[in-house]
Amino acid sequence: MLETKSRSAALYERALQLMPGGVSRNAVLRKPHPLYVEKGEGCWVTDVEGVRRIDFANNMASLIHGHAHPAIVAAVTAQLRKGSAFTLATEQEIELAEHLIGRTPSFEMIRFVNSGTEAVMSGLKAARAFTGRPRIAKVEGAYHGMYDYAEVSQTAKPHNWGDPEHPASVPVCHGTPQAALDDVVVIPHNDSERAARILDECGDSLACILIDVMPHRVALLPAAPEFLRTLRGWATAHGALLVFDEVITYRSEYGGAQAWYDVRPDLTAMGKIIGGGFPVGALAGRRDVMSVMDPHAAQVRFPHSGTFSANPVTMVAGLTALKLFDEAAVARLNGLGDRARAGAAEAIRIADVPACVTGRGSLLRLHMKAEPPTDYRSSFATAPETARLQALLDHFFASGIMMINTGTAALSTAMTEVEIDRFAESLLDGLRKLKTL
């Protein structure tokens, strides 16, 4: 019999000749090949084979309203007719700036960029420019994008992560300058005592502490309030800044996940949902710190620019998405998140397999571990756990559900209890299958 190749397989063959690994972002890789998309609508995605799946990945948590929301499509289409990028300022950037500054009390001024990586990089450079200090501290395992300094230790492994009292500065990329590694101090998540001891050894050399209050790669574990208070207190006492990375977590509350805490960051990096489905990043925070970018200053401490920064297409998409994501919409979505996590916990209990679920708000993550992890090291998946997670993700995919490849789900307002319950049912089936493997 003549075997016909799927359209995705044929497309991937072409792509392999053109792009390393056949892709421009590793997140879309799947075995034996990535699937290619035809279209998305609400919480559904259809691939080029015509197969529909419920989208729990939402372009790596960046689509808060799912796909092709009619209001966003209309706003973007109207803007496209007027042009997509200019060497002139636009009113649209002022409107999105006003909206975001009105949403989050720690925001006094803001600048837009094109990605979360760029937002975090800008935050670190602003902190250095403000303090005149080179070094930063960050949490072991936390992902903050691709800037040399921000990515240190993100992929640390048991053979190279070192003593827990002094986690090693492990490079992600071959050839990372030793100087970059030396300028990054790694602290453990949610361990106030150890973190304070490590920070104390840095004296007054740190420009900032960079922290994600619910780091996806650190098991999606919310920061303990006491941990954040320790970091805030230490930073203030030593003239360093506290920089939050809310690239993922800004979706968690109306004013971002920082609303969960009585601690205020000096700067916040954002991305993902604030662009309404278009490439975006932003850095917001204290007026005096943000002023390092002021081009009118006698001495500009941090000249900051970007060809597509604050382009009006992203600005109108972001503003439309955020206006729709009002307090009622946030509460409804977080309610669905609670239902999903409860459904997952119940499925795990019924199936009686070693697994657990973490997360808060509209995010959850599944782990193939009986005990919920407490930090990066305890969340690190063993080879058998990784294999079981992959089998579960394949089951989800086959049963019409798309997840992020870490076992994470990011909900969208296009979902209802029907899709959430379908997720929990599919999980129960998948866990039962795992028992038979």
Ligand X SMILES: Cc1ncc(COP(=O)(O)O)c(C=O)c1O
Q: Are strands 356-358 and 135-139 parallel, antiparallel or unpaired?
A: unpaired
Minimum gap (Å) between residue 247 Cβ and ligand X: 3
Work out whether 143 is an interface residue with ligand X (CB under 6 A): yes
How far is 375 from 381, CA to CA, in rounded Å? 12
Residue 122 makes contact with ligand X by CB under 6 A: no
CA 169 – CA 180 distance, rounded (Å): 9
- Decide whether 358 or 426 has the Cβ nearer to ligand X: 358
- Report H helices in 155-209: 178-182, 192-200
Residue 140 makes contact with ligand X by CB under 6 A: no
Could you tell me the smallest distance in angstroms from the CB atom of residue 31 to ligand X?
22
Residue whose C-alpha is closest to residue 240's, from 137, 154, 343: 137
Which of 79, 90, 106, 117 is close enough to bind ligand X by CB under 6 A?
117
Is 312 one of the binding residues for ligand X (CB under 6 A)?
A: no
Among 248, 366, 415, 434, contact with ligand X (rule: CB under 6 A): 248
From 55, 183, 212, 245, active-site residue: 245
Cα–Cα distance, 429 to 399 (Å, whole number): 10
Site string for ligand X, 201-240 (x = CB under 6 A): -----------x---x------------------------
DSSP-derived secondary structure letter, 67: B
- Give me Rg for the CA atoms of the chain: 22
- Using CA atoms, how far residue 303 sits from 129, 220, 300, in Å, is 10, 34, 6
The least CB distance from residue 363 to ligand X, in Å, is: 11
Amino acid at 437: L
CA distances from 173 to 22, 165, 187, 200, 359 (A): 20, 24, 20, 28, 29
**Residue with Cβ nearer ligand X (154 or 426):** 154
Site membership for ligand X, residue 144 (CB under 6 A): yes
**Regarding beta strands 363-367 and 281-285, do their DSSP bridges make them parallel or antiparallel, or are they unpaired?**
unpaired
Q: Which is nearer to ligand X, 67 or 144 (CB)?
A: 144
Q: Judge whether 272 counts as a catalytic residue.
A: yes
148 makes contact with ligand X (CB under 6 A): no
- At 284, is the secondary structure helix, strand, or coil? strand
Is 256 a residue that touches ligand X (CB under 6 A)? no
Nearer to ligand X, 143 or 325 (CB): 143
Which runs of E-coded beta strand occur in 66-183?
109-113, 135-139
Give the range of 35-43, 115-123, 155-163, 413-421 binding ligand X by CB under 6 A: 115-123
Residues designated catalytic: 143, 245, 272
Residues forming contacts to ligand X in the complex (CB under 6 A) are 60, 115-117, 120, 143-145, 212, 216, 245, 247-248, 271
